Chain A
Amino acid sequence: MHEMSLCENIREIIEEQAKLDGFSHVNRVWLEVGPLSCVEPDALRFGFDVVMRGSVAQGASVEITSSPAKAHCLACQTTVQIQQRYDPCPTCGVGPMEIIQGDAFKISKLEVV
């Protein structure tokens, strides 16, 4: 369950941002969690509420977005949607391909007051 410590990282980033931008409360947090990111969205939601207690993001709601995983084949120059990281290229059979989308794990935006 490493989502708990990832939530602590999220909290630190938000608290730093609160100092920079001078907001006192966060209503909503948008997180991008790619399908290849090794982060479990349900575990993340669970940890989020617990970890944000006592911070500017206490009680904030979480929106989790996700873009499909895509990879580029260096051998045949095609870009395809993939299900998992180490699949060989479905067009030419060569692998592994270069991941170009789907491994992100980031805070996209905040709604603050």
Chain B
Amino acid sequence: MCGTCGCGEGQVHIDGKHHHSEAREIALERNIMAKNNGYADANRARFHANHTLALNLVSSPGSGKTELLVKTIAAVGTDTPCHVIEGDQQTSNDADRIRATGAPAVQINTGKGCHLDAHMVGHAVDDLAPEPGGILFIENVGNLVCPAGFDLGEAHKVVVLSVTEGEDKPLKYPDMFAAADLALINKADLLPYLDIDVDLMIANARRINPNINVIQISAKTGAGMPAWLAWIKAAQAALLPASAAE
């Protein structure tokens, strides 16, 4: 409402003068997520041109994403350049842990934000300038909800679920399992100490996403690591050569 004369909507002050112009309606029908998707497409085109395999790792906090990455980078070796974008609300701890392996890492602090978006990732890729033909691991903010809805331009989402989190998590957070192509069931070394039914956990993930690949793994002992490395190799091989671009 106008504070000067008390008139209602559709009446505005422009340059201090009082205009009573007609309000009109504009039909937009505009998808709000399209904004993020546009940035994601641009990232995807860049990854394609650079022959980079981009993987978006999603999980709840503490499932072992950073630990897995540290071990994975060591296992991949120096033939394939690895780069990491770390997303956390606060601190650069995880990027420091990655850099200790020798791999370049950029930390994005999202503050109150609960997920990475494609625009932030685009800027992080500017900073990283990944070497062609390598792997870009994107460790998303620990959160099984929001990151599912934000395409970053990655080739695959990889959901990490640790065995201590309970069999029902795929059913409680279905969007994440629906969006992921691979589930890494981490901390398998703890299975002897737990009552969890890991087959039920996997069955629940497949109930949501019948096509999801599943690998039981332990970042601590290295069990399951060969299967994960083989999956990465296959994903790299499946990338179209940059010269075969559309």
Contacts and interface: CB of A to CB of B under 8 A. Distances in A.
Contact of A2 (B28, B30, B113, B178): B113
B4 interface: no
Contacts of B25: 109-112
A24 B31 contact: no
Contacts of B33: 9, 105
Interface string B135-175: 00000000001101110000000000000000000000011
A86 interface: yes
A5 B32 contact: no
B145 A38 contact: yes
Contacts of A96: 208
Contacts of A17: 26, 28
Contacts of A23: 24, 26
Nearest to B31: A106
B-side binding surface: helix, strand, loop or mixed?
Answer: mixed
Given A2-B113, A5-B117, A10-B32, A85 B175 contact: yes
Nearest to A6: B32
Contacts of B32: 6, 9-10, 13, 31, 105-107
Interface residues of B, number: 35
Contacts of B112: 1, 4
Nearest to A9: B35
B23 interface: yes
Interface in B169-197: 174-175, 178
Contacts of B35: 9, 12-13
Interface in A8-67: 9-10, 12-13, 17, 21, 23-25, 27-28, 31, 38
B23 A110 contact: no
Contacts of B27: 108-109
Contacts of B243: none
Interface in B210-237: none
A1 B11 CA distance: 34
Interface of A: 1-2, 4-6, 9-10, 12-13, 17, 21, 23-25, 27-28, 31, 38, 84-86, 96, 104-113
